[in-house]
Chain A
Amino acid sequence: MQLLQTRFPDSLDADGLADVLVLGGKWHGNLRQVARNGQNVIVASRQALKADGNAILEINRDITTQLKTEDALKRADRLAAMGRVAGIIAHEINNPLEAITNTFYLLAGHPSLDDEARDYARLGEEELHRVCHITRQTLGFYRESKDPVDVSLPKLLDDILDLHSRPLEVGNIALDRQYRTSGYIQGFPVELRQVFLNLIGNAVQAMPDGGQLRLRVADCHSSASRISGVSVSITDTGTGIEPEQAQHVFEPFFTTKSTKGTGLGLWISKGIVQKYGGTIHFRSLRRPGGNITCFRVFFPDPHRQTYPKSVSIAENHTNCVELAGGSRVYD
């Protein structure tokens, strides 16, 4: 690999390294180098002064992959630790929450209450539902099984659409399903359901005056990263996302839905997708003729189970290409 330049650590520059070699005769450490193709590599470098100080012997070993692996393991450890903490908190919170929920359930239906008192009890019950909703979203990922199972993404989407059949019908929202693969991946249905429940729910809520909801599932591969997998696109013709909001939609507690949203849905969805090694992007085009917003989720191998057919990622981007006039991709 031909190298164009070496980037030294903050504490050391080229002159500093020369001084170290002159004084100590040798040096070792990590250096960041840029290859001719622009790729950054990190090398473990050992350098020593030879031939009475007239030559430097330098041995570099590319440790980029090793460092990335170590970093991935550290992140996995952090996620596992977070999962354990979430489990403990879930137990401590869910137990009293169940008791309070049951208390309100009994109270709201108690015959001794007058109308005013019953209204107060119902208010309390509604607020409690919000707390339960947030807890469920953040801590309540109880899984149906210990091991991942085969999940058909088209079937999962259909199950979620069943839940939204009434809002779709009443809200005058036309549905267009384009399932081009059986779309099996290995995963936990509860987690995956949460991702697409959030995305479809957001799309439906973005179309209070009706519109079109398009769901597309396709096998694809990225020619850039050479990763194959399955992608799911959810496109709506709703209110769109303001450019100034676009940078924040995946941040926790960011919501455009006033008191109705927790602001956690997309943040959690992104976290789940990343856990599968996947990506989530969106494009939103606001224009006088109608807005179009497309969220695209990509799950790479090895979460795939079947590879019935492949289309290029460019083809799979059809939904987004038509949005491309001046729009940006956010992830």
Chain B
Amino acid sequence: MTKSVILCVDDEEIPRTLRRLILQKQGYEVVAVGSGKEALEALASAHFDLVLTDQMMPGMAGTELARQIKAATPTRPVVIISGVNELPADISHADRFISKIEGPEALFKGIAEILERYQNTERSMTK
């Protein structure tokens, strides 16, 4: 079975690297970038099964990145991860919001559920 490919977006290097490492340990292929702009460039040149983005980033917030991704490709899953304790105002374009404090297991569970949901939808459409 081919590995799902995740695009991991965070402006802070250490959290970004650690998130990439735990996701790789979980069996995902991960490409990590440092901004929303870099994420859109990566998405234009390669296929990703899911985008995992931090919410609070300079230049482009996670919600704005989710909006632009969904405008271009509505079927691309986007998960927002955040350290804030309130939902961002414009969360409607993201598929899931996960609090950073919930830990790795909650992150893995959230990603697996969203990937499965999209894969099931894809399968039912190709039938």
Contact = CB atoms under 8 A, between A and B. Distances in A.
A140 B99 CA distance: 8
Interface string A88-113: 00111111011101110110010000
Interface in B91-115: 97, 99-104
Contacts of A105: 22, 103-104
Interface residues of A, number: 29
B74 interface: no
A128 B103 CA distance: 11
A131 to B, nearest CB: 10
Contact of B84 (A90, A99, A103): A90
Given A91-B56, A102-B19, A139 B104 contact: no
How many interface residues does chain B have, given as a range? 20 to 34
Given A102-B18, A105-B22, A106-B22, A145 B103 contact: no
Contacts of A120: none
Given A95-B100, A99-B15, A87 B86 contact: yes
Interface string B66-107: 000000000000000011111101000000010111111000
Nearest to A145: B87
Contact of B100 (A98, A103, A129, A141): A98
Given A141-B85, A143-B86, A98 B101 contact: yes
B96 to A, nearest CB: 11
Nearest to A144: B87
B12 interface: yes
B104 A94 contact: no
Given A102-B18, A132-B103, A91 B89 contact: no
Nearest to A146: B87
Nearest to B21: A106
17 contacts: A90-B101, A91-B83, A92-B83, A95-B15, A98-B101, A99-B14, A99-B15, A99-B18, A102-B19, A102-B22, A103-B18, A105-B104, A106-B18, A109-B25, A129-B103, A140-B101, A142-B99
